[in-house]
Amino acid sequence: MQSQKLQTIGNELGSLTKHLGGAGFEQALADFMGTLLPHDLMSVARYSYTAPPVMIAYSAEMPQTIVDSYARLYREIDPYSLYWRDNPEVDIITLSELSTGRRKVDRYVREFLFNNGIKDEIGLFLPRFAGSGLGFFYESATRRYGPRHRSLLASLYPLIANLYRAHLRTLFAAPPEDIEASPATLDIMSVTDADGAILWSTPMWTGLPAAIRAQQREAASSPHGEGSTNHRVSPSQALVSEKLSNDPHRVVWTLTQSAATEANEGMFDQPNLPFEEPLTPRERDIVKLILKGYPTLSIAGRLGLTRGTVKNHRRRIYGKLDITTERELFLMYIEAAIGPRHDTN
């Protein structure tokens, strides 16, 4: 029986490695962990220092109502996100290990988890990369996760972490246009040498305004310490830099977009931005919410629309503006706000 189980695990690992550098790797990795840890539901969230968490994958058994309510109501008070930001070395954490007695934590547990039939939850955080990181969460409707489950995840963590690092290395070896294949990374990204010379970049990076790329070159000229470094370029954007773990002479640069906060909630509300001219009033409302960092589900909730209706609006908006991604929309806003880019290279 034991040998059969080991053979099954070996086969699943072999299948998992086929996803390295591909769009399905994070889901496949979470599913592999799920075969070893008892659970009823599974989710994968992306955490960032500059934006609220986003649920990027989940098990087929996860009710859509839970996914929607997390995006609409509870991601802003996600206690795992707060813990992740305050504890850079965290790898595994159970729900009971989160401090209780704080209003946001208690509300998340009482309203989001228990009201959705979730009795307990355990999380595993992958190594951080360029200011963001992924968390795998396993939920149970009947059991409590204790030391035995934590020990199991701890024993597997070196393998999982190294597989994830191998995924990133494979991803960066692919053509730049393939960067969007993985939700572990953003598509406005470049890799430089220690002196700041660009060795590799995504197509969206080369389309950035010259002013932002000049700020990146200036930041690259200063000594780069260990870990991630944030270089604020606007109230809502930052350049995040981090050395590649397998090559300390190379630095990855990512342009991150902060989500809406009290400080920047109104910054995208200017009327008559040039690129808004072909849009209807409803489409302009949606554009402003996209620019503020709201995902499709949150936009639907704020405007009283269905998720499908918002998706249809987005397709029409992109068609009218002759773009294909949200990043291009951000770049259009930057150009409208600070003027057209003039390359200095």
Domain end, chosen from 173, 202, 229, is at 173
pLDDT band at 303 (very low <50, low <70, confident <90, very high): confident
Q: Can you give the residue range of the structural domain that contains 228?
A: 186-257
Tell me: pLDDT of 260 over 70: no
Q: Are residues 229 and 304 in the same domain?
A: no
Residue 298: predicted pLDDT: 66
Tell me: pLDDT of 185 over 70: no
Token duo for residue 20: 């390295």
Q: Are residues 251 and 282 in the same domain?
A: no
Question: 190 with 320: CB under 8 angstroms?
Answer: no
Cα separation, 81 vs 74, in Å, equals 11
Between residues 149 and 101, which one has the greater pLDDT?
Answer: 149
Q: Are residues 165 and 231 in the same domain?
A: no
Beta bridge partners of 122: 94, 138
What confidence tens digit (pLDDT) does each residue in 131-156 have?
A: 678 899 999 999 899 899 999 999 98
Tell me: pLDDT of 24 over 80: no
Between residues 247 and 18, which one has the greater pLDDT?
Answer: 18
304 within domain boundaries: yes
71 within domain boundaries: yes
Q: Are residues 74 and 218 in the same domain?
A: no
Question: Which contacts (CB < 8 Å, 24+ apart) does range 156-163 have?
Answer: 156/33, 156/36, 157/91, 157/92, 157/124, 160/29, 160/33, 160/124, 160/126, 161/91, 161/126, 161/127, 163/16, 163/17, 163/20, 163/29
Cα separation, 232 vs 23, in Å, equals 29
Domain containing 236 — which CATH number? 3.40.1840.10
- Average the pLDDT over 8-23 and give the result: 71
Q: Are residues 157 and 8 in the same domain?
A: yes
Q: Please provide the average confidence, as pLDDT, over all residues in the chain.
A: 75
Q: Are residues 201 and 100 in the same domain?
A: no
Cα separation, 84 vs 64, in Å, equals 25
Domain end, chosen from 257, 285, 312, is at 257
Residue 122: predicted pLDDT: 93
Q: Are residues 321 and 281 in the same domain?
A: yes
pLDDT band at 184 (very low <50, low <70, confident <90, very high): very low
150 within domain boundaries: yes
Tell me: pLDDT of 175 over 60: no
Q: Are residues 191 and 249 in the same domain?
A: yes
Cα separation, 121 vs 175, in Å, equals 38
Cα separation, 330 vs 257, in Å, equals 9
Residue 340: predicted pLDDT: 47
Between residues 114 and 335, which one has the greater pLDDT?
Answer: 114
Calculate the alpha carbon distances from 183 to 156, 217, 251 in Å. Answer: 22, 26, 19
343 within domain boundaries: no
Between residues 264 and 7, which one has the greater pLDDT?
Answer: 7
Between residues 143 and 3, which one has the greater pLDDT?
Answer: 143
Tell me: pLDDT of 342 over 50: no
Domain containing 59 — which CATH number? 3.30.450.80
265 within domain boundaries: no
Beta bridge partners of 129: 132
Q: Are residues 69 and 125 in the same domain?
A: yes
The backbone torsions φ and ψ at residue 255, rounded to the nearest 5 degrees and listed phi first, read -90, 115
Calculate the alpha carbon distances from 164 to 53, 88, 152, 157, 286 in Å. Answer: 19, 17, 18, 10, 35
Q: Are residues 68 and 147 in the same domain?
A: yes
Domain end, chosen from 173, 199, 233, is at 173
pLDDT band at 331 (very low <50, low <70, confident <90, very high): confident
- Average the pLDDT over 51-78 and give the result: 82
179 within domain boundaries: no
345 within domain boundaries: no
Q: Are residues 214 and 113 in the same domain?
A: no
Q: Are residues 140 and 190 in the same domain?
A: no
Question: Nearest 5°: CA angle at 185, between 173 and 337?
Answer: 120
List, in sequence order, the alpha helices (H) in the chain: 2-17, 25-34, 64-69, 79-86, 103-107, 147-173, 203-206, 210-220, 281-291, 296-303, 307-321, 326-338
29 within domain boundaries: yes
How many domains, the chain? 3
